[in-house]
Structure 1
Amino acid sequence: MAFLLEASILEDSWDSVFSAIQWIQFVMATLSVIGSSSLIAYIVFQNIQKSPEIRPLFYLSFSDLLLGICWLIEALLYGTSVVNKDIVCYNLQAVGQIFYISSFLYTVNYIWYLYKELRMKHKLHGQSTFPPVIDYTCQVGQIAIILSSLIPLLLMIPVFCLGNASECFHNFSQSHRCILMYSPPSAMAELLPSADASVCSTLYFYGLTIFLASFLLSLLTIVVLLIQAQTLYKKFVKSTGFLGSEQWAVIHIMEQRVRFYPVAFFCCWGPAVILMIVKLTKPQDTKLHMALYVLQALTASSQGLLNCGVYGWTQYNFYHLKQEARRDADTQTPLLCSQKRFYSRGLHPLESTLAFATSTSTIL
């Protein structure tokens, strides 16, 4: 009797936690949709979506927008009695996985492009420009964008085809499917003859493996790029050559974005990865799981908001640095002003090619 009472109290506590998670996910997904939509609107309004640097950021924001919409629908479906709700939730989870794996790859692509720009500017600082290298970088970036959309879709085809054919939406814990990234196989799966338990269990671990592998590979690549970018930035700081104030502002903001986007990436997905690892080692729900569920709802649904915040904050700093540079120019001697004009003329062809002519461009 005491055991049954304790189990009932535990179930009630979990229901209250998942109800809170529903509203947390609803709020954060709404904010993420607003943030990613704002960034997309800004890029389109400025007509800079075709820029080699902005293109991966545009697609990253678009993935964040679609992912936020998926999670918003899931939060709204939770606790309702919609017809075929199990099927809808199962496929929404699979569609969501396509979008967040795409966001991993687009984040890597964007940071890679920022690093290549830093490297190109470092080469320019010491030697002449090589346009074929710039063209090669743009071509690689375009291929990477296509693959970032295609690879997640191909990886999730088995989940759609085999999962729906085997009716795996019957084979998982249904009560919290729409608010959890991964619902583990139900303990009652063997009582549901319409579902193929072995296929569904395999697909569950397949999706989990894809998520963990894509996150870890993306994180490793981002860390390598971050280390390389920090090394380049230190070389800029120690350099004895001349850099104009606006050119220095561009380099400084690019370096900030290389640092802050990985931080946003880890803050969004780190708790979800930790939760998955803990669930694999300790399947039984505990208070630690409860805390990680709440933390995941706060962070995983907020990528669009954080990415918009990082871009907006660095953009504000960029314009602030430009204004300071212009104020400094008003107080400089004629000799220094003529030096700045000379170096600006020398840098202008590359700045136009790379869309980083800071005096006229709003790409950054």
Structure 2
Amino acid sequence: MWTEVDIRRLLRNTTDAKELPEVFSHVKWIQVVTSMLSIVGSGSIIGYAIFQNVVKSPEVRPLFYLSVSDLLLAFCWLLGAVLYKPFTPDLQCFNLQALGQMFYLTTYLYTINYMWQTCSNFRRRIVHDTNQITETECCIGRIATVLCSVFPVLLICPVFYYGNTKECYGNSSYSCLVLNIGSQITVDPGSYSDGGCAALHTYSTIVFMVTFCLSTVAILVLVGYSYQLFRMIQKESRLLQDHWAVLTVTRHAFLLFPSIFLFCCLPVVILTLVSSKGIDVGYQVLCYIQSFTAVSQGFLNSLAYGWTQQMLHCLKQSSYRDVDTQTPLLRSQKNLYASMQTSNIHRGPQTVSAF
């Protein structure tokens, strides 16, 4: 007796056989371009941190690790595009797809780590007016960095071991394109002859979705905490001009980086849900969208970081020029006026927030 799900799978297999090779041939070249852009973007941050000798800086170190994970993910996608051949199940492609999922989870965790470390550094610098890091904070930061790399490896190890042992790569017809990170790219998950492979398929999808949901919640919590922190700092009237510049730039960064994270990851999540539910409507459009966004985080992060650093430089230069052209009396009057204006802006109805 044919069920509705069986009929939908049959229709989708027929549609895939006729249309997906053409769609994926286009996606392949899009993936090549976006991967190369991400390699250039994340590589520029890594090169800047190394050549400027700021890898150990509390402000740069978490972004450096995030860029390394973005770089590895981009290389994985680029290699997949090079190896892609339609309707060619391959052990190498299966392992490459699992490796891509591992790097994806790593970028999620390192994004949380970057947000948390940036928020902690900012609070320590502005509220306590110092850049000194205690031994406890330094130890916690190291542990968090290590866990961001260890957890994805532990979660994906069963995929590597069981998938290769039971030859679960037999249905991975498009896995070299790393299109659907969460569900081990198969034309039809129900066609697995081994029940263990179907369970591995489900496990991979659940790991990806749960990690994304937890990462999103953690990032939103950090954004909410930073919002409260900014409101508290705006009440202060004795901050230096440099600190106000850092406040402005950090506020923009806390808006940009979570937005980039969601922009790049949401199409992946939606395509995972669509693929797991067997929905055909909009599937090809999602493939195109994901090929543009899924691996672009490294490139967009480099643009955001470069723009925020340029803004910080301009704000500091502006404050320096302003101080140099004023007498001590005018400077003291301006500081008093700025304090009063800050207080009024905070209490008035025209309060402007970057969030």
TM-score, structure 1 length as denominator? Answer: 0.81
Q: Which residue of structure 2 aligns with residue 111 of structure 1? A: 115
Residues 25 and 179 of structure 1 are in contact (CA less than 8 Å); yes or no, is this contact kept in structure 2?
no
2: CA distance, partners of 1:214 / 1:21? 26
Give the deviation of 1:34 after TM superposition. 0.9
Give the deviation of 1:320 after TM superposition. 1.0
What are the equivalent positions in structure 2 for 1:318-329 lying under 5 Å apart? 318-329=312-323
Q: Which residue of structure 2 aligns with residue 235 of structure 1? A: 232
1: CA distance, partners of 2:80 / 2:244? 45
- Which ranges of 4 or more aligned residues in structure 1 deviate by more than 4 Å? 6-10, 185-188, 335-340
Q: Which residue of structure 2 aligns with residue 194 of structure 1? A: none
Supply the AA of the counterpart residue of 1:152: P
Q: Which residue of structure 2 aligns with residue 354 of structure 1? A: none
- Give per-residue Cα distances to partners, 1:60-83, cap 9 Å, x unaligned: 10011010000000011112799x
The question of 1:202 aligning with 2:202 is answered: no
2: CA distance, partners of 1:61 / 1:24? 21
Residues 55 and 64 of structure 2 are in contact (CA less than 8 Å); yes or no, is this contact kept in structure 1?
yes
What are the equivalent positions in structure 2 for 1:7-22 lying under 5 Å apart? 11-22=17-28
Supply the AA of the counterpart residue of 2:90: D
Give the deviation of 1:139 after TM superposition. 1.8
User: Size of the alignment, in residue pairs?
Assistant: 321
Q: Which residue of structure 2 aligns with residue 140 of structure 1? A: 140
Residues 86 and 173 of structure 2 are in contact (CA less than 8 Å); yes or no, is this contact kept in structure 1?
no
The question of 1:189 aligning with 2:188 is answered: no
Give the deviation of 1:96 after TM superposition. 1.1
1: CA distance, partners of 2:192 / 2:15? 25
Residues 52 and 138 of structure 1 are in contact (CA less than 8 Å); yes or no, is this contact kept in structure 2?
no
User: Which residue of 264, 270, 281 maps to 1:268?
Assistant: 264
Supply the AA of the counterpart residue of 2:92: V
What are the equivalent positions in structure 2 for 1:187-336 lying under 5 Å apart? 188-190=191-193, 197-239=194-236, 241-280=237-276, 282-284=277-279, 286-335=280-329
2: CA distance, partners of 1:157 / 1:265? 25
Residues 21 and 86 of structure 2 are in contact (CA less than 8 Å); yes or no, is this contact kept in structure 1?
no
Give the deviation of 1:176 after TM superposition. 5.2
SS in 1 for 2:282: helix
Residues 106 and 148 of structure 1 are in contact (CA less than 8 Å); yes or no, is this contact kept in structure 2?
yes
Give the deviation of 1:333 after TM superposition. 2.0
Q: Which residue of structure 2 aligns with residue 89 of structure 1? A: 93
Residues 42 and 67 of structure 2 are in contact (CA less than 8 Å); yes or no, is this contact kept in structure 1?
yes
The question of 1:101 aligning with 2:98 is answered: no
The question of 1:77 aligning with 2:88 is answered: no
Residues 122 and 232 of structure 1 are in contact (CA less than 8 Å); yes or no, is this contact kept in structure 2?
no
Residues 275 and 289 of structure 1 are in contact (CA less than 8 Å); yes or no, is this contact kept in structure 2?
yes
1: CA distance, partners of 2:73 / 2:97? 10
**CA 1:304 to 1:108, structure 2 compared with 1: closer, same or farther past 3 Å?**
same
SS in 2 for 1:50: coil
1: CA distance, partners of 2:294 / 2:220? 20
**CA 1:159 to 1:179, structure 2 compared with 1: closer, same or farther past 3 Å?**
closer
Q: Which residue of structure 2 aligns with residue 152 of structure 1? A: 152
Give the deviation of 1:140 after TM superposition. 1.1
**CA 1:179 to 1:258, structure 2 compared with 1: closer, same or farther past 3 Å?**
same
Q: Which residue of structure 2 aligns with residue 174 of structure 1? A: 173
Q: CA RMSD in A?
A: 2.7
2: CA distance, partners of 1:336 / 1:89? 68
Residues 115 and 229 of structure 1 are in contact (CA less than 8 Å); yes or no, is this contact kept in structure 2?
yes
Supply the AA of the counterpart residue of 2:266: G
1: CA distance, partners of 2:223 / 2:284? 33
Give the deviation of 1:339 after TM superposition. 11
Supply the AA of the counterpart residue of 1:27: V
**CA 1:274 to 1:327, structure 2 compared with 1: closer, same or farther past 3 Å?**
same
2: CA distance, partners of 1:214 / 1:10? 29
Residues 32 and 65 of structure 1 are in contact (CA less than 8 Å); yes or no, is this contact kept in structure 2?
yes
Unaligned stretches of 5+ residues in structure 1:
191-196, 341-364
Give the deviation of 1:330 after TM superposition. 1.5
SS in 2 for 1:301: coil
TM-score, structure 2 length as denominator? Answer: 0.83
Give the deviation of 1:253 after TM superposition. 1.4
